[in-house]
Amino acid sequence: MMELVSTPQNPAPLGATVGALEIPRRFRKPVQVRYAHWPSGLKERHGTVCIFPGRSEYIEKYFEVVGDLRRRGFYVVAIDWRGQGGSTRLTRNPLKGHVRSFDDYQTDLSRLMNDVVLPDCPPPYYALAHSMGGTIALKAATMRGSWFERMVLSAPMIRIKGLPGSDAFTAKVTGAISAFGLGRVAVPGGMKVYRDSQIFEGNILTTDAERFARNLSVLRVAPELAVGAPTFGWVRAALVALREINDQEFARRLRVPVVMLAAGHDQIVSSSAIESFADRCRLGSQIVLRGSEHEILQERDPIREEFWAAFDAFVPGAKIKRSA
């Protein structure tokens, strides 16, 4: 599905250009990776912000954020990673969240930058990434000639909470399961967790009922955007990527200044791991947003205001024009 889904609770920002990148794969059909971009909402241009969502997310979930950024004078680009949102799914059951390797996400990012952002969007370029998107962005920040001037990471996935054992043990088990050809099987209990996440009471994503309902309104109209449980293969791929990021030398290889905003009540990724990673970074810092669940940008206004204050202080030219 390439077009954007607009609902009364979540109207699509005007002026979008929507497209798909066709990315070849060895021995398989190419994947279609959906993207959208918008011009600045102001005459002055401060560059382009690239939104890199988390696992299971979709472009429509960031419409409010797109508006926040355009009012600050930025062009905005957003992507649906392969296997989620409006991009090609990688399993027969589209509710399973799967990827072969996080290197495939790096391919998606590279194609987006080279085929869409560099030709069509004004520099300088900034990354705004959430959770899994933060993992992907951090790897890009170690590249020679990285595209980005700065990165703002919302609850970046440095370590996953709630694994059945240590990271090393879980990686070994999921690696063995994948080697036996069962990598596309959903993790046990994953679909129940997904169903529970559709109910506001007791959810571990946000304390904002209105934004929670807004996101559900999109999935009611377009259930094909939804992703449920991760597969064993996704967990294995994630832990391989996180092992590299948690290597003592990785943080020192960052070539891009990074600010990381950790959720004070995060039950999905480890906020203490974010703090430890920031301590190792020559070019990184972290801020804890007290009272926030995992999805900081889907949170209550006071928490979002803290996020945007940090963003505005860190990204050049980002001060919002209230009269716009």
* Sequence-ordered list of residues with C-beta below 8 angstroms from that of 77, at least 6 positions apart, any chain: 35, 36, 37, 48, 49, 50, 51, 112, 116, 117, 121
Question: Span 283-307, mean pLDDT?
Answer: 96
Distances (CA, A) of 182 to 89, 144, 176, 177: 17, 36, 9, 6
With respect to residue 95, please indicate whether it lies within any of the assigned structural domains: yes
User: Would you say residue 297 has pLDDT above 60?
Assistant: yes
Q: What is the pLDDT of residues 171-223, one digit of tens each?
A: 999 999 999 999 999 999 887 778 877 899 999 999 999 999 999 999 999 99
d(CA 118, CA 93): 35
- pLDDT range class, residue 284, cuts 50, 70, 90: confident
Look at residue 226 in the predicted model and tell me its pLDDT.
Answer: 95
Look at residue 283 in the predicted model and tell me its pLDDT.
Answer: 84
With respect to residue 324, please indicate whether it lies within any of the assigned structural domains: no
Lookup: tokens for 17: 């250009």
With respect to residue 250, please indicate whether it lies within any of the assigned structural domains: yes
d(CA 55, CA 179): 23
- Inter-residue contact 159 to 265 (CB < 8 Å): no
Location of structure tokens 């009269």? 323
- pLDDT range class, residue 36, cuts 50, 70, 90: very high
Look at residues 208, 193, 201 and name the one whose alpha carbon lies nearest to residue 9: 208
Look at residue 28 in the predicted model and tell me its pLDDT.
Answer: 87
User: Would you say residue 97 has pLDDT above 70?
Assistant: yes
Top pLDDT among 193 and 271 is at 271
Quick check: helix, strand or coil at residue 64?
Answer: helix
- pLDDT range class, residue 134, cuts 50, 70, 90: very high
User: Would you say residue 48 has pLDDT above 90?
Assistant: yes
User: Would you say residue 65 has pLDDT above 60?
Assistant: yes
With respect to residue 320, please indicate whether it lies within any of the assigned structural domains: no
Q: DSSP secondary structure string, 89-154?
A: PSSSSTTSB--S-HHHHHHHHHHHIIIIIHHHSPSSEEEEEETHHHHHHHHHTTSTT-SEEEEEEE
d(CA 228, CA 323): 40
Give the rounded percent of residues in the chain with a pLDDT score beyond 70: 98
Location of structure tokens 């290197």? 103
With respect to residue 321, please indicate whether it lies within any of the assigned structural domains: no
Look at residue 323 in the predicted model and tell me its pLDDT.
Answer: 41
CATH at residue 157:
3.40.50.1820
Q: Is the preceding peptide bond at 124 cis, omega within 30 degrees of 0? A: yes
Domain count, the chain: 1
With respect to residue 79, please indicate whether it lies within any of the assigned structural domains: yes
Look up the domain containing 221 and give its range.
Answer: 17-314
